[in-house]
Structure 1
Amino acid sequence: MVVELASLTVISVKAVSGMITFSVTDKTQLTYPIFYIMFIIMIASCVFQVKLLNQATKLYNTAAVVPVNHVFFTTSAIIAGIIFYQEFLGAAFLTVFIYLFGCFLSFLGVFLVTRNREKEHLPQSYIDFGNVPGKQMLDKIQPDSNGLSYGTLPDGSDSAKNPSGEKKEV
């Protein structure tokens, strides 16, 4: 999820910075609604990206979260730039190769720094989505504490029986 937000952040930051640059050098872009839409998207994606990274650091060690985020953020930024802004269009092969080789060296550095870290054992292996507003959590239903099990009624009769005590045909 953070990687998708990273791509969105890169696209919106590039759009906002391009509009500001164009406003300074030529015609103002601040009168167009797209500038404000992209500005809001930029701020919102940054805020949610930080929030998700904060949640990840609560579950995992920072030494594991930051390198993984760096590699995927860089990869998504490159792909977003290639797709939306055609950054490599008309670039020489050597320029593209040096750029990608620099990214590879960055990823190699992250790998070398983090490879000798010991694996941590998590006390909780999942994220609790119980606090998501509006989501029904039917799998979190617990049996009553008074000793009833599933399928029994408070009077002790089986729920598969009708009120007269005879078995229902299913």
Structure 2
Amino acid sequence: MITFSVTDKMQLTYPIFYIMFIIMVASCVFQVKFLNQATKLYNTTTVVPVNHIFFTTSAITAGIIFYQEFLGAAFLTVFIYLFGCFLSFLGVFLVTRNREKEHLQQSYIDLGNIPGKQMLDKIQPDSNSLSYGTLPDGSDSTKSQSGEKKEV
């Protein structure tokens, strides 16, 4: 679109330009947010190579599908292109292969931070509890404070 705007037709007059621009900005924002969350769980030596490989693979796939990059290309051209991508991925693997395995300090999904989720303090009694249907103060869990039976 930029090339067309500079050489021939101004692309700002077409609505597809604005749709693509909004999609591009939203994609950048979500990718930064995703990478920020990933670096909280994993080390950057894990996050950055994985992001590089997935981004490169998706860009290649999008180019093949949408722009038909390999349509009419010779086999050698396609092979050299894909071999270059393979060398890039191999370089990422070689750079990151000798790092030590890390163990997560927290669970992958923190159930305490789900918006709108109500946390019930203790659904199951402690293993040292003698009776199953009582609260820690000894009262029956099916009775309300006024003494009426509640449906559970």
For the aligned pair, the TM-score class normalised by the smaller chain equals: 0.7 to 0.9
CA contact (8 A) 1:152 1:158 kept: yes
How far apart are the structure 1 equivalents of 2:99 and 2:44? 11
Larger deviation, residues 42-51 vs 134-143? 134-143
**C-alpha displacement of 1:128:** 2.1
**C-alpha displacement of 1:136:** 6.0
**C-alpha displacement of 1:82:** 1.1
**C-alpha displacement of 1:119:** 0.4
How far apart are the structure 2 equivalents of 1:70 and 1:47? 17
How far apart are the structure 1 equivalents of 2:23 and 2:34? 16
SS at match of 1:122: coil
> Normalization by structure 2: what TM-score?
0.77
SS at match of 2:48: helix
**C-alpha displacement of 1:125:** 2.9
**C-alpha displacement of 1:83:** 1.4
Query: Aligned in 2, Cα 1:41/1:165: closer, same or farther, shift over 3 Å?
Result: closer
> C-alpha deviations, 1:10-65, integer Å up to 9, x for none?
xxxxxxxxx22112211211011211111011011111101110111111111111
Tell me the number of residue pairs that the alignment of Structure 1 and Structure 2 aligns: 152
CA contact (8 A) 1:162 1:168 kept: yes
How far apart are the structure 1 equivalents of 2:11 and 2:33? 30
**C-alpha displacement of 1:131:** 3.8
Q: RMSD value over aligned CA atoms?
A: 4.5
Which residues of structure 1 form unaligned runs of 5+? 1-18
Query: Aligned in 2, Cα 1:159/1:71: closer, same or farther, shift over 3 Å?
Result: same
How far apart are the structure 2 equivalents of 1:48 and 1:110? 24
By relative contact order (CA 8 Å, sep 6+), the higher-ranking structure is: 1
Residue in structure 2 matching 1:139, options 116, 121, 127:
121
**C-alpha displacement of 1:124:** 1.0
How far apart are the structure 2 equivalents of 1:39 and 1:169? 55
Residue in structure 2 matching 1:108, options 54, 68, 90:
90
How far apart are the structure 2 equivalents of 1:141 and 1:33? 54
Query: Aligned in 2, Cα 1:164/1:23: closer, same or farther, shift over 3 Å?
Result: closer
> C-alpha deviations, 1:90-143, integer Å up to 9, x for none?
111111100000011011111111111100111113132544545666799787
Query: Aligned in 2, Cα 1:74/1:137: closer, same or farther, shift over 3 Å?
Result: farther
CA contact (8 A) 1:29 1:35 kept: yes
State the percentage of identical aligned residues. Answer: 91
Query: Aligned in 2, Cα 1:120/1:23: closer, same or farther, shift over 3 Å?
Result: same
How far apart are the structure 2 equivalents of 1:140 and 1:32? 58
CA contact (8 A) 1:161 1:168 kept: yes
